[in-house]
Structure formats: structure tokens, C-alpha cells
Amino acid sequence: MELVILPEWFDRSAVTIAPELIGCTLVRQLPDGQQLRGIIVETEAYQEGDPACHAYRKQTKRNQVMFGDPGYVYVYLIYGMYHCVNVVTDKAGAPSAVLIRALELDRDTLVSIPRKPSEKPVKVAAGPGKLCRAMQIDLDLYGTKLDLGQALWLEHRSTDWQHKLDGGSIKLTQTTRIGLTQGVDLPWRWYVTDCHAVSKW
DNA sequence: GGTAGGATTACG
DNA sequence: GTAATCCTACCT
């Protein structure tokens, strides 16, 4: 299998893809060529018929990328100060996305990220806002294609990680989503069980 | 044209 | 508990 995840892989429902993205690697390539890498440990799915989905009502300038082809980046500003990054899923006309909520940062990436001395390294990318700050993701990446050589792309699970999942030493937990006022009962959040890098419990 | 509130986080 | 901070949706 190709290492880099191709756009066609995202042409499925968000609820199918969200748990499959756990264990995959998010790669951020900066303009200077430096790469920041982290393994996804927490995701949430948002799709049609879901009142919490930003595309639930109608197409707007903000959510329009969700209405388009899969495999593109949906970034939005929340609470005026934080960014959240999503992967657009499913075919054009079926607006949906997977929110990436937490990463286990690659060791080299970790040392390259500026942070307060008091801040525990593992908490740097725990939470969608902090994750975007650590990976330097902002609205400039809105509508970017997820592909090798772009600002952002995804890579499949390593065989080692997959074996750990198959063998039961890594487990996934499925539960309800966080921070919502609508659609609170939909169990569309997944994370690595007992992972210390997951945002909230 | 005005405004309430949000897929968050940090700090008291 | 609540401030920070801004874009969007949803009024009028």
C-alpha cells in the first residue's frame, strides 16, 4: 500500500473514516521544507443529518469546502482565537468531515516546537486548538489538497501500529463528542484508549 | 445593520 | 467560573 493516503481513500462516510484515521500520521510541511509529524490519537466525525455539522444548514463561504470533493483541508476559526483542522470526506454534495482533535507528536517535531517550560510535551497537541498551534495550521490552509508535497498530508498506519491494534495492545474507545450543544448523543468520537495525549476525558 | 454565541483554552 | 476574541448565522 502507498504510504501517503490518496484522495480516493477519503471518498467514504466520515463515520467510517474517523476511527480509521486513528494511528495515521499527519504531516505538516512548512514553507522552508521542515516537516512536523504526529500520529492521530483522537478524531470526531461530522456529516449529513447531524445538527452539529457546520454544513447542516446550507452552503456558505466558510463551509463550502465540505460540499466539494474529499481529501481537502477544512480549517475554521473558533472562539475568535483557535483554529481547528478537518479532513473533508465523502463525495461532492455529501458535506462531511473528520475533525482531528489530538496528536502524539513525533520526537523530532516535539523538540522543534516552541512552548512554555512548564508545559508538558505530551500536552502540546492535546486538543484541536493546541494541535493547530503546534502544527502551524491556520486559515491559509483552507481548501488545500491533502497530498504529498502540499502543506499537509496524511500517511497510513505503520504496520507496527496496525499489529498492536490487531494484537490488542492498542485499543480504541468510541464515545460521544465534546463541546457541542447539538447532536450530543451521537457516538462519533474515537480515541486511543488510555492515551495520555488525548484532549479531554 | 446589529448581535449572540461557538467542534477552545488558560488562568484564577 | 470566566475572559480572550472574531467570524458567522440569524435576526431586525
A139-190 tens-digit pLDDT = 999 999 999 999 999 999 999 999 999 999 999 999 999 999 889 999 999 9
Matching CATH number, A7-192, of 3.40.50.720, 3.40.50.11890, 3.40.1080.10, 3.10.300.10: 3.10.300.10
**A54 in contact with nucleic chain B (CB within 7 A):** yes
User: How many CB atoms sit inside 10 A of residue A177's CB?
Assistant: 19
Question: Which three three-digit cell numbers place residue A116?
Answer: 512554555
A12-48 tens-digit pLDDT = 999 999 999 999 999 999 999 999 999 999 999 999 8
Domain boundaries, chain A: 7-192
CA to C1' distance (Å), from A182 to B7: 10
- For residue A152, what are the β-bridge partners? A28
> What average pLDDT does this structure show over A82-88?
96
Rounded to whole angstroms, what are the CA distances from A107 to A95, A111, A112?
35, 7, 9
**A45 in contact with nucleic chain B (CB within 7 A):** no
**A201 in contact with nucleic chain C (CB within 7 A):** no
Closest protein CA to C1' of nucleotide C3, residue: A79
